[in-house]
Amino acid sequence: MAPSRQPSVQGYDIVRRIGVGGMAETFVAVRKGPGGFEQRVCIKRMLSHLEETPEAGPMFLREAQVTARLRHANIVQVIDVSDDNEELSIVLELIEGIDMRSLIKVLREEGDSLEEDALSYIAQSLIAALEYAHGEGIVHRDISPSNVLLSTAGEVKLADFGIARARDLTRFSRTGTVKGKIPYMAPEYARTGECTPQSDLYSFGVTLYELATGLRPYRANSDIAVLHKAALGEHDPVAAHARISSSLAAIIECCIRPEPSERFEKAEAARRALRSLDSSTLARRSLAKRVKAILARAEEAAPVSSPGAALRGGTAVVSPAEQQGPSVRPAGPDEVTRTSVHHPPAPQRDVATDRSDVQPDLPRPAKIPWVWLGVIALIALCTVAFLTLR
């Protein structure tokens, strides 16, 4: 979807558009100050056709209000909110890196897996963000690989609090409305529409399972079938597909149990369990190295002048998935953060009907050209005739 117009935000110079999603589009911008000061940021603007929708404006502002309350190293930060020219915009920090979905995609394509210390480091970073948010009375409600950002410095950031609910704020969705990605949605959330901190822990567990194995624990051909399997807890143990310690496997399995009472009571309990695991001090450096390698490959595959190019020097960085086409979703609370921007990989990976996790494509047998079939038939006839004449 093309933007109807470029946003105009006082104090910021728009550089280029990053992406567009269902509710907003995002742009790289520069904030200038005295003495040559410059800061690159991400500006998220509500789509123009939604501006006349009564609920859209308050929902958009509420997202900013919720996220702005959160000040944590592992959460994307809101810098400013603007309503210049009656256009609602959120200014976010910009992250140079990729999202977890891109990492999982590359690992799967290369038949590789993440080292356990890096996996543990990512898990501890995310659970720290969740513990903090839950302590502030905010439930994320949409944790998935697309909303986990990995920077070239090895930072791990949780993004997209766009459908989060603060206990002391009006609910964003109407009663009974469920928002989020089905494969990562806790059974009780899908069933009742009520999301709790333990529901976030479920999504956190499914995300870790996929990072460790390249697969989702509950896979089927329809959303209903996925939810049915999740409600029954029918899945392969994570240890069946990943070479990880029994301790880490037990933590992941505890998070994805169907009943909330069977999971960790709080994010704090999960964090304590994760802290008991050995995590190398080089884990962050190892993760940063992988992120840089993925971005370098993306730069080689796309010229800088193209929409899928990665720009150097702390500007926007695009994941390899964007090169598949212009249809990308926004970064920022939709999915972004600090010194650069990411774009999520193929959007269809976020739906339960994605069958690539269910049945991989198998090589087809080579086809024999018709002309060769004719030659073979002719040789066979000549052979029969020769033997008959003898």
Q: Give the active site residues.
A: 142
Residues 6+ apart with CB under 8 A from 65: 169
Nearest residue to 239 (alpha-carbon basis) of 250, 230, 231, 255: 250
Q: 45 — phi, psi (to 5°)?
A: -120, 135
**Distances, alpha carbon 343 to alpha carbons 75, 78, 219, in Å:** 17, 18, 24
**From the CB of residue 357, how many other CB atoms can be counted at a distance below 10 Å?**
17
Measure the CA–CA gap between 139 and 153, rounded to whole angstroms: 27
Q: Is 46 exposed, middle or buried (0-12, 13-18, 19+ CB in 10 A)?
A: buried
**Distances, alpha carbon 78 to alpha carbons 55, 91, 193, in Å:** 21, 6, 27
**Distances, alpha carbon 342 to alpha carbons 40, 230, 305, 337, in Å:** 14, 30, 17, 8
Measure the CA–CA gap between 349 and 367, rounded to whole angstroms: 31
- For 137-292, where are the E strands, in sequence order? 138-139, 148-151, 156-158, 165-166
The residue to which tokens 């659970």 are assigned: 127
Residue 299's identity, in one-letter code, is E
Q: Is 228 exposed, middle or buried (0-12, 13-18, 19+ CB in 10 A)?
A: middle
Measure the CA–CA gap between 235 and 251, rounded to whole angstroms: 15
Sign, CA dihedral 344-65-55-143, equals positive
Nearest residue to 343 (alpha-carbon basis) of 14, 18, 7: 18
Q: How many residues does the chain have?
A: 390
